[in-house]
Amino acid sequence: MFFNSLIGRVVTFSFLLFTAAIGAVTVVHIHREHQHITSSSRTAAELMLSVIERSIVNAMSSGDSREVQAIFEQVVLDPLLLGVRIFHPEGRILNSANPREIGRPVNVHDLTTFRRGETYTVFPGEQGEVLGVVRPIHFEERCSGCHSPDEEVIGVLNIDYSLAAMNDQMINSSQFFAGSMMAVIILLTGGISIIIYRFVSHPVQTIADKMAQVEEGDLTAQFMTSRTDEVGQLMLSFNSMVGRLREANEELKSWHNQQMERVDRLASVGEMAAGIAHEIKNPLAGINGAISVLASDFAKDDPRREVVSQVLDQIARLDKAATDLLYFGKPGKPSFDLVDANELLKKTLFFVAQHPEAGKVHQIKEFTRNLPPVRVDEKQLQQVFFNVIINAIQAMKGGGGTLLLQTDIVTRDDRQYVRVLVGDTGPGIPAETLQKIFTPFFTTKTQGTGLGLAICRQLMEQQGGTIHVASRTGNGTRVSIELPVQEQPPAEQKGS
Q: What is the pLDDT of residues 267-290, one digit of tens each?
A: 666 666 666 665 676 677 778 777
- Which amino acid would we find at residue 472? R
Asked if residue 417 and residue 342 are part of one domain, the reply reads yes
- The whole domain housing 256 covers 222-330
Q: pLDDT value at position 372?
A: 92
124: in domain = yes
215: in domain = no
33: in domain = yes
194: in domain = no
Asked if residue 77 and residue 113 are part of one domain, the reply reads yes
Asked if residue 418 and residue 310 are part of one domain, the reply reads no
Asked if residue 462 and residue 428 are part of one domain, the reply reads yes
Asked if residue 12 and residue 76 are part of one domain, the reply reads yes
Q: Read off the CATH number of the domain in which 75 is found.
A: 3.30.450.20
Is the whole model's pTM more than 0.85, yes or no? no
Mean pLDDT in order along the chain per 10 residues (496 residues): 65 80 80 78 78 71 67 73 86 85 89 89 85 84 65 83 80 81 83 79 80 81 77 82 84 82 66 65 74 77 78 72 63 81 90 80 91 89 88 80 92 89 91 82 67 81 89 89 76 42
Total domain count, the chain: 3
Domain termination site, one of 298, 330, 362? 330
Q: What is the pLDDT of residues 48-93, one digit of tens each?
A: 777 777 777 666 666 666 777 777 777 767 777 788 888 888 889 8
Asked if residue 351 and residue 246 are part of one domain, the reply reads no
Asked if residue 44 and residue 126 are part of one domain, the reply reads yes
Q: pLDDT value at position 365?
A: 92
Q: Read off the CATH number of the domain in which 259 is found.
A: 1.10.287
Asked if residue 374 and residue 320 are part of one domain, the reply reads no
293: in domain = yes
Asked if residue 159 and residue 10 are part of one domain, the reply reads yes
Asked if residue 473 and residue 354 are part of one domain, the reply reads yes
Q: Enumerate residues 6+ apart whose C-beta is below 8 A from 2.
A: 8
Asked if residue 371 and residue 430 are part of one domain, the reply reads yes
Q: pLDDT value at position 446?
A: 62
186: in domain = no
Asked if residue 73 and residue 52 are part of one domain, the reply reads yes
226: in domain = yes
Q: Read off the CATH number of the domain in which 382 is found.
A: 3.30.565.10
Domain termination site, one of 286, 304, 330? 330
185: in domain = no
